Structure 1
Amino acid sequence: MAASAGSVLGSTSGVKTVPGSSLMDIDEEVRFVCPNFVSDYIFGVLKLPEEFCVGKGQDLPERLLLHVPPGVVWNGIYRKGRQSIEGVEKMMSFYCIKPYHLIVFDYIGGPSFNLKIFNPYGVEINYNFFKNSDTPTGLEGCILNPSEIEVDKLGGTLSYNVYHSGRSICEVVLGNKHIRKTEVYKVLKRSDWESLGIVESMESVRLSFRNITWLVKLVWRNGKLYFDRGWYKFAKAGKFGIGDAVVFHKTDWPQKFIATVFENEVLSKCNVSGVGQRDGVMEWFKMASPTFICTGEMEIPRVFTNLSQFKLDETVKLILRDGETISVKFCSESNFLFGMRNLVRLYSIESTDVMVFTLVRQSTFVLSIFKFYGMESEYNAVEVCKTEAMKKVCLEDIIILSDSDNSEEGMAVEQEQDAEEEGEGIGEEADEMPEANVSFRVTLKPSHVDKRQHGVYFPSSLYSTYKRWTNMTNIRLICGAKVCFVSVLRTGKVCRFGRGWSEFTTANELSEGDILQLNYIDHLTFQVEIV
């Protein structure tokens, strides 16, 4: 079994070899992901994991070659100081790479990388979809300035397909009557609105793709439910089309519902022909949620299950990239894989880790695991998860934070003032502290909750922990029912939270005087408790 897996993993089908470069041995292969979430997305720029840049990245040439199936090669410029690949505007335009698209990098030696691109539906894109487009500049404008609503919709699509499982309550396939301008709209049947918990005493509901909401008033006529013109505004904002499927699911807020849209021609935007795949079947991916970590169950992305080749047996085999094979169960009625708790424990899978599935034969996938900070797992099987605290976190949602528009100029002045207020002794020689005991407590001041990204400072005693961080480092904060990503600002031995901090305080409804206990539980991860 291990030998068979190795032959699959060593395949370089569809890659155009460049003179002067050599393919790496599978044992030396270096792979990582570039998630392109909102806080990381910059048009024409692909951010690289810090661990790769301080390792293999030290020897990379400035000019890079990016190989995309089925053998197309794009140029990129490696910026070592910024830990990124730049100058890829044309590539991102050609493949319409927007926020919430995931890119898997496979470093094959010299200046060359193999790339695979995944959309928010959790599957590979159609690499030839825009091949005959005559208006690349139009695509570039769309990507360069995506609207806030479009980004919110993309984030909701990824959350439903990639992060969560089994959230669908009801589904409506749109016809012309649902999207033309009129007074009222009959969208939901009785069985649908009853299953959503809507009752005749309700006067309105709020509909959302993720965060932005639209108020829709309810019109009741003879026991039938109609939406008012608020539905038309919602449909127009989401650019709904005839034949699109809208899946409704509940939220934790009364009378607020999330709508996830599957476009009528969604399969045409996906790699249904399996370009670049040895078995002609596209790959799919999921992000580990706390629910998955606790239950070991996940729903296979809907688009993948709609493939004509999709057919799995009751027992599915997962081949890890270390050659180990784990058997799990498949339920055809719900398209769920379950019985994966042992996998979670053995390979220390944590919340927001990325899992990529490659079908290699009937009911057998090669499973690749990438840590949330980007690098591929080392696949060191252990008896229990190294971070027991992660098992205790029961999240309902992941919040992917957007960048702030606030300027961060004058940072040094703010740092000096806040350091005097806090009396934290910033600038003193750092004390070495074992990672197992890294923690600190802070009382929030007015500046910490003023929504101007004035994050708290790290005490100087944590310098040994943050001394390798840069202004591009993102920290994961786990607080109660939410996971937030916040960047840091660091100059010398001074370090504080920056962009994303205000979204973190807002999401957790923090206010002046609240006391936070921050425990460093894993790489770039703090468990935050409100004392």
Structure 2
Amino acid sequence: MSSPAKNLGASVSVINNETGGPSFNLKIFNPYGVEINYNIVKEAVTEKDVGRSNMNLSDIELDRLCGTLSFNVYNSGEGICDVVLGKRLLRNTDLYEVLKKDKWEILGICEEMQSVRLSFKNLTWLVKLIWRDGKLFMDRGWYRFVTAGKLYKGDVVVFRKTEYYGKLVITVFENDLQSKCNVAGVGQRDGVMEWFKIANPTFVCTGEMEIPRVFTQLTHLNLDSTVKLILRDGETVAVNFCRHRNILFGMRKLVRLYSIEPTDVMVFTFIRDSIFVLSIFKFDGMESKYIAVEVCKSEAMNNVRIEDIIVLSDSDQDEDGMGGDGKENVNEPEDNIGLEPAVLQNEILGFSVTLKPSHVDRRQHGVYIPSSMYSTYKNWTNMTNIRLICGAKVMFISVLRKQKVCRFGKGWSEFTVANALAEGDKLELTYVDDLTFQVEVV
């Protein structure tokens, strides 16, 4: 019989594994994506606590819980920088130096900006920026934010960029987090807590998934570069692990074989030596039937796309950074302009490009996006940030836009350096999700 999975409000998720007859083995997961400390829950259940639920939480507390849950179990690889809160960032004063230069630069904050918006998920606080001698300070809006969010000394604040100009999403990892997790392995012989993730569209398209940081930090596991996943039907699938970014990748075969869809819940149980048992639950809460699907050759051939090769000039001299072949793109036939990507039959939205010297000269000369994708980028602005996923690396790149011409801008050089790209390399860029390209070097 399948095992149902349920969601208890914003704070925990529950997996019920049937053990036989009327008995069930109940496991509870916290917003960090790992099992809770069952001892604390047992001690907290008193007469005073009876009747309490997530419905008693304030709007701010609920928003913070939802944001934490979303970051740890749904979004992958979106954390940009961490800040550990000390007394100076929590006291009531006029100015706060929250971010050093190296951090506010990678968050896309520049000296022309007068304010930023901070949010846990939906609720937003406006914080004014003060610039002095090349340093960035935040005004008392920061104090209102940390006070409302009930942040304390030792908490780790994770900043994330969004597609909206000047908006940053914050996730908090509490200082006493360890006491709230099942580090002692209560109810488990191996003493290692389980963790879970919810499949999102990016994972389904790219096969990349970030392991909850709490799991790797608290269990001190040394995973190999190859990790084996044992499905409940007995099949074993090998995937890759990147220690630097704490992600599993190379999982597209798994997604295809077991028809994993967005909102499916994946529960990982550590066995030994980089081996996990993987349980998959569908949106209705019932466990997957684990019926492997074979991809026939005819279906694979239907997915083959005709490459759109773009040859760029080696110079880029216009003041707006949109010169050379970018202007030629405006005059190219634009048969696909105005059509939504879903209308283009038997095509995968994307393009190919062979890198020229200007692309790797470390002067932010990013590649041009073909005019055939105008319907995709027509609403982008110079403040739009695009996510490029290449292997185990995820980087955010700004775009430069002038009428119907669009190319990658700031952040492109960092992308080429991080992936050791050189002149003559051929890239395939596939638009796999909102503001996201999957990049492959072929």
Q: What TM-score does the superposition give when structure 2 sets the normalisation length?
A: 0.65
SS of aligned partner of 2:218: coil
Match of 1:441 in 2: none
Please list the CA deviations of residues 32-72 of structure 1 after superposition, one character each: whole Å capped at 9, or x if unmatched.
11023xxxx4xxxxxxxxxxxxxxxxxxxxxxxxxxxxxxx
C-alpha separation between the residues in 1 aligned to 2:53 and 2:77?
A: 32
Q: Using a 3 Å threshold, how does the CA distance of structure 1 residues 271 and 324 change in structure 2: closer, same or farther? A: same
Give yes or no for the alignment of 1:182 onto 2:93: yes
- Aligned counterparts, 1:512-531, within 5 A: none
Identify the match of residue 249 of structure 2 among 338, 350, 371.
338
Residue identity in the other structure for 1:118: F
C-alpha separation between the residues in 2 aligned to 1:371 and 1:317?
A: 22
Farther-moved stretch of structure 1 (133-142 vs 173-182): 133-142
Identify the match of residue 34 of structure 2 among 123, 129, 136.
123
How far 1:384 sits from its partner (Å)?
4.2
CA contact (8 A) 1:348 1:384 kept: no
CA contact (8 A) 1:316 1:364 kept: yes
Aligned identity (percent) is 63
Residue identity in the other structure for 1:283: E
Give yes or no for the alignment of 1:377 onto 2:349: no
Match of 1:173 in 2: 84
Match of 1:209 in 2: 120
Residue identity in the other structure for 1:32: P
SS of aligned partner of 1:305: helix
Match of 1:160 in 2: 71
Identify the match of residue 111 of structure 1 among 22, 26, 34.
22
How far 1:130 sits from its partner (Å)?
3.7
* Number of matched pairs: 299
Match of 2:161 in 1: 250
Off by >3 Å, runs of 4+ in structure 1: 108-111, 130-136, 138-144
Q: Using a 3 Å threshold, how does the CA distance of structure 1 residues 323 and 165 change in structure 2: closer, same or farther? A: same
Q: Using a 3 Å threshold, how does the CA distance of structure 1 residues 136 and 149 change in structure 2: closer, same or farther? A: farther
Q: Using a 3 Å threshold, how does the CA distance of structure 1 residues 195 and 140 change in structure 2: closer, same or farther? A: farther
SS of aligned partner of 1:357: strand
Residue identity in the other structure for 2:254: L
Match of 2:417 in 1: none
Residue identity in the other structure for 2:161: K
Unmatched runs of 5 consecutive residues or more in structure 2: 304-375, 377-442
Residue identity in the other structure for 1:33: A
CA contact (8 A) 1:123 1:285 kept: yes
C-alpha separation between the residues in 1 aligned to 2:20 and 2:275?
A: 29
Q: Using a 3 Å threshold, how does the CA distance of structure 1 residues 226 and 135 change in structure 2: closer, same or farther? A: farther
C-alpha separation between the residues in 2 aligned to 1:144 and 1:196?
A: 34
C-alpha separation between the residues in 1 aligned to 2:292 and 2:53?
A: 44
Name the Cα RMSD after superposition.
2.0
Give yes or no for the alignment of 1:270 onto 2:242: no
SS of aligned partner of 1:349: coil
- Aligned counterparts, 1:440-519, within 5 A: none
Match of 2:272 in 1: 361
C-alpha separation between the residues in 1 aligned to 2:162 and 2:72?
A: 16
Match of 1:317 in 2: 228
Match of 1:301 in 2: 212
How far 1:311 sits from its partner (Å)?
1.1
C-alpha separation between the residues in 2 aligned to 1:197 and 1:118?
A: 34
Q: Using a 3 Å threshold, how does the CA distance of structure 1 residues 254 and 345 change in structure 2: closer, same or farther? A: same
Match of 2:240 in 1: 329
C-alpha separation between the residues in 2 aligned to 1:303 and 1:234?
A: 24
Q: Using a 3 Å threshold, how does the CA distance of structure 1 residues 136 and 190 change in structure 2: closer, same or farther? A: farther
Q: Using a 3 Å threshold, how does the CA distance of structure 1 residues 102 and 141 change in structure 2: closer, same or farther? A: closer
Match of 2:2 in 1: 30
How far 1:133 sits from its partner (Å)?
4.0
CA contact (8 A) 1:156 1:210 kept: yes
Match of 1:145 in 2: 56
CA contact (8 A) 2:231 2:279 kept: yes
Match of 2:408 in 1: none
Q: Using a 3 Å threshold, how does the CA distance of structure 1 residues 139 and 263 change in structure 2: closer, same or farther? A: farther
C-alpha separation between the residues in 1 aligned to 2:252 and 2:33?
A: 22
Q: Using a 3 Å threshold, how does the CA distance of structure 1 residues 280 and 134 change in structure 2: closer, same or farther? A: closer
How far 1:375 sits from its partner (Å)?
0.5
Give yes or no for the alignment of 1:199 onto 2:171: no
SS of aligned partner of 2:290: coil
Please list the CA deviations of residues 262-312 of structure 1 after superposition, one character each: whole Å capped at 9, or x if unmatched.
001111100011111231100000010111111111110000010244110
C-alpha separation between the residues in 1 aligned to 2:47 and 2:271?
A: 35
How far 1:233 sits from its partner (Å)?
0.8
SS of aligned partner of 1:307: helix
CA contact (8 A) 1:292 1:298 kept: yes
Match of 2:379 in 1: none
SS of aligned partner of 1:214: strand
Identify the match of residue 287 of structure 1 among 198, 204, 214.
198
How far 1:139 sits from its partner (Å)?
7.6
Residue identity in the other structure for 1:151: L
Q: Using a 3 Å threshold, how does the CA distance of structure 1 residues 31 and 292 change in structure 2: closer, same or farther? A: same
C-alpha separation between the residues in 2 aligned to 1:379 and 1:31?
A: 13
CA contact (8 A) 2:11 2:54 kept: no
C-alpha separation between the residues in 1 aligned to 2:193 and 2:219?
A: 12
Q: Using a 3 Å threshold, how does the CA distance of structure 1 residues 377 and 114 change in structure 2: closer, same or farther? A: same
C-alpha separation between the residues in 2 aligned to 1:34 and 1:308?
A: 25
SS of aligned partner of 2:111: coil
Q: Using a 3 Å threshold, how does the CA distance of structure 1 residues 119 and 133 change in structure 2: closer, same or farther? A: closer
Identify the match of residue 350 of structure 1 among 250, 255, 261.
261
SS of aligned partner of 2:102: helix
How far 1:132 sits from its partner (Å)?
3.5
Unmatched runs of 5 consecutive residues or more in structure 1: 1-28, 42-98, 393-479, 481-531
C-alpha separation between the residues in 1 aligned to 2:273 and 2:96?
A: 45
How far 1:314 sits from its partner (Å)?
1.0
CA contact (8 A) 2:2 2:288 kept: no
C-alpha separation between the residues in 2 aligned to 1:376 and 1:115?
A: 15
